[in-house]
Structure 1
Amino acid sequence: MKIFITGGSGLLGQYLNETLSKNNEILTHYHEHEGNCKKFNSIRFSLDDYTQLESILKNFKSDVVIHTAAISNAEKANKYPSAYVYEINVNATKKIAEVCDKINAKLIYISTDLVYAGYRGSMLDESAKLIPVSLYAETKLMGEIKIKETFDNYIILRLALLIGFGLNHSTCFFQKMYEELRLNKSIKLFSNQYRSPLELSDAARMINELLEKQIAGEILNFGGNERLSRYELGEIICEECGFDKSLLIKTTMEEENYPYIVHDVSLNIDKLKSYGIIPKNIRESIKRLLKSNKLT
């Protein structure tokens, strides 16, 4: 297939570049950071340049567009004017959907588990109440709505917390946690927020498998099997690496005055599994991750 990847230099995008390029023809997009895009057929432009965006998608003759690019977390979104966040996360998504409709390309849109209400219980399915509490999550949900208003040839993935080691400039919470513990430094970890963590390379593998499925017009929870807090993830790292668990300091979002209180967006992934897409066990993923990076 011919696959266009937006945000190809991002945390997930770089893993998608490496995984999807093995058996497909990819064109990967970046804006500020090049990441590993230089190793692949790539192009640099801003997603709000809609003339260029449409021209590129049409000329490449994409079969699939995987739209990962965004102002990509709650803290980052608040550093930009809200109008710009809306432009990139909502209007650019709408434009991509419109062009995909014109060229008969499937759109795989990376949304977030943070669109859900975080106080309605655990292991939420796709019909659960939606109450995003940050500008980031709100605009990701609005992107979902724009896609559904535009056409039917889409898969919306409500992505869980990604863990692993970012490539090049990209990084994530898991990586910071590992580095602090490796240096024998204490680290505060939330004990009262629950997610369904998914390892980066496993996420790329699962998206690759989705490409082979005849799925359209679907919203899928996209995460791991387990309901875990960040503190519990820290315990797993300590156990697998032999780090001192006393370095883990249990805290809460309220104690840290965290502005985006979301207690539980752990995901029911039965619908995802019904399509034969099965995430790996999180502890086994972490073991494999550490071994592949020669960290054990």
Structure 2
Amino acid sequence: MKVLVTGVTGQLGHDCVKELERRGIEARGVASRDFSLTDYAAAKAYIEAYRPDVIMHCAAYTAVDKAEDEPELCEAVNAGGTRNLAMIARDIDAKMIYISTDYVFPGDGESSYEPSAAKAPQNVYGLSKLHGEEAVQELLDKYFIVRISWVFGINGKNFIRTMLKLSEKHDALNVVDDQIGSPTYTHDLAVLLADMAQSDKYGVYHATNEGICSWAELAAETFRQAGRNVTVTPVPSSAYPTKAVRPKNSRLSKQCLEDAGFRRLPSWQDAVKRYLLELNTKAD
């Protein structure tokens, strides 16, 4: 089996290639230097020359606030680029794994969203990712759509890294506590995506680490495990207004994983513990 992984320079793409190679599966990670997602002819020529059995699409335009100022570019990459890959996957009869987001939902209420729940993105980024989902479902039968949230991994910037950096200069931080969801450790997600690539249990899934928390709780747990003496003061989202609306409720039901025979990801606290160890190992 051969797998093409887009977004190899990002957190998830990096870990997916590592996990596939660990299993002895041929994996080729690609980035914008190899071809542009928005250039159908270039993407088609590259991918058809490689002829993967699976296209694992981890690349995306992810600058959520900036997207509000450049919606056309965000849509072109996340919706148009995904449509291009889906058309190519159809032509070469490849499976496709498309990484989506909790932002496709309205982000209200306090219950966990099922995969089939009504979609109502509240920002440009979420809408573009939903359009990507729709393109995949329209064009393909052999697909996995995997919605994730609050991503962190070794190969890039993320909330945990930001908190650790801030803790070097501050012993007290205000952190939002009215946005509730689940972190997703890319190391754990990569294991699940590799399992999916080796299966034919197609469909729409949610995949985050188990358990829920607020950003303030995630920060506090990070400092506790890292041995940083930092006081976290919970504050409302209104204390840190952003250009793009953030969902208050990012809870995603993962029963779909169990129903299909996939293993749920470990708890988010355990994921933080292993991530901090990974960061320390890299620093050494």
- In structure 1, C-alpha distance between the alignment counterparts of 2:246 and 2:81, rounded to whole Å: 28
Q: Do the aligned residues in 2 keep the contact of 1:5 with 1:67 (CA within 8 Å)?
A: yes
* Residue 122 of structure 1, CA deviation: 2.5
1:130-209 matches, cutoff 5 A? 130-165=119-154, 167=155, 170-209=156-195
Residue aligning to 2:85? 96
Q: Do the aligned residues in 2 keep the contact of 1:164 with 1:174 (CA within 8 Å)?
A: no
2:221 paired with 1:236: yes
| 1:166-185 Cα distance to aligned partner (Å, 9 max, x none) | x2xx2111210122124444
- In structure 1, C-alpha distance between the alignment counterparts of 2:153 and 2:45, rounded to whole Å: 35
- In structure 2, C-alpha distance between the alignment counterparts of 1:75 and 1:255, rounded to whole Å: 16
Deviates more, 1:16-25 or 1:138-147: 16-25
- In structure 2, C-alpha distance between the alignment counterparts of 1:245 and 1:229, rounded to whole Å: 17
2:58 paired with 1:68: yes
2:87 paired with 1:87: no
| 1:76-97 Cα distance to aligned partner (Å, 9 max, x none) | 4235x32222111111111111
Identical columns (%): 24
Report the RMSD for the aligned CA atoms in angstroms.
1.8
Amino acid at match of 2:253: N
Residue aligning to 2:242? 258
* Residue 206 of structure 1, CA deviation: 1.6
2:233 paired with 1:249: yes
Q: Secondary structure at the match of 1:254?
A: helix
- In structure 2, C-alpha distance between the alignment counterparts of 1:150 and 1:188, rounded to whole Å: 45
Distance 1:164 1:91, change over 3 A: closer
- In structure 1, C-alpha distance between the alignment counterparts of 2:71 and 2:222, rounded to whole Å: 37
Q: Secondary structure at the match of 1:132?
A: coil
* Residue 198 of structure 1, CA deviation: 1.5
- In structure 1, C-alpha distance between the alignment counterparts of 2:194 and 2:174, rounded to whole Å: 35
**TM-score relative to the length of structure 2:** 0.92
2:91 paired with 1:106: no
* Residue 60 of structure 1, CA deviation: 0.7
> Mind listing any 5+ residue stretches in structure 2 that lack a counterpart?
none
Aligned equivalent of 2:204, options 219, 224, 236: 219
- In structure 2, C-alpha distance between the alignment counterparts of 1:94 and 1:164, rounded to whole Å: 27
Residue aligning to 2:47? 57
Amino acid at match of 2:99: I
Residue aligning to 2:8? 8
Residue aligning to 2:270? 284
* Residue 294 of structure 1, CA deviation: 2.8
Q: Secondary structure at the match of 1:180?
A: helix
| 1:164-221 Cα distance to aligned partner (Å, 9 max, x none) | 43x2xx21112101221244443331100011112121111221122222212x1101
Q: Secondary structure at the match of 2:145?
A: strand
Q: Do the aligned residues in 1 keep the contact of 2:35 with 2:46 (CA within 8 Å)?
A: no
Residue aligning to 2:117? 128
Distance 1:292 1:95, change over 3 A: closer
Q: Do the aligned residues in 1 keep the contact of 2:12 with 2:153 (CA within 8 Å)?
A: no
Q: Secondary structure at the match of 1:187?
A: strand
**TM-score relative to the length of structure 1:** 0.88
* Residue 242 of structure 1, CA deviation: 2.2
Q: Do the aligned residues in 2 keep the contact of 1:12 with 1:204 (CA within 8 Å)?
A: yes
Amino acid at match of 1:74: V
Q: Do the aligned residues in 1 keep the contact of 2:172 with 2:230 (CA within 8 Å)?
A: no
Q: Do the aligned residues in 1 keep the contact of 2:182 with 2:268 (CA within 8 Å)?
A: no
- In structure 2, C-alpha distance between the alignment counterparts of 1:66 and 1:11, rounded to whole Å: 14
> Mind listing any 5+ residue stretches in structure 1 that lack a counterpart?
32-42
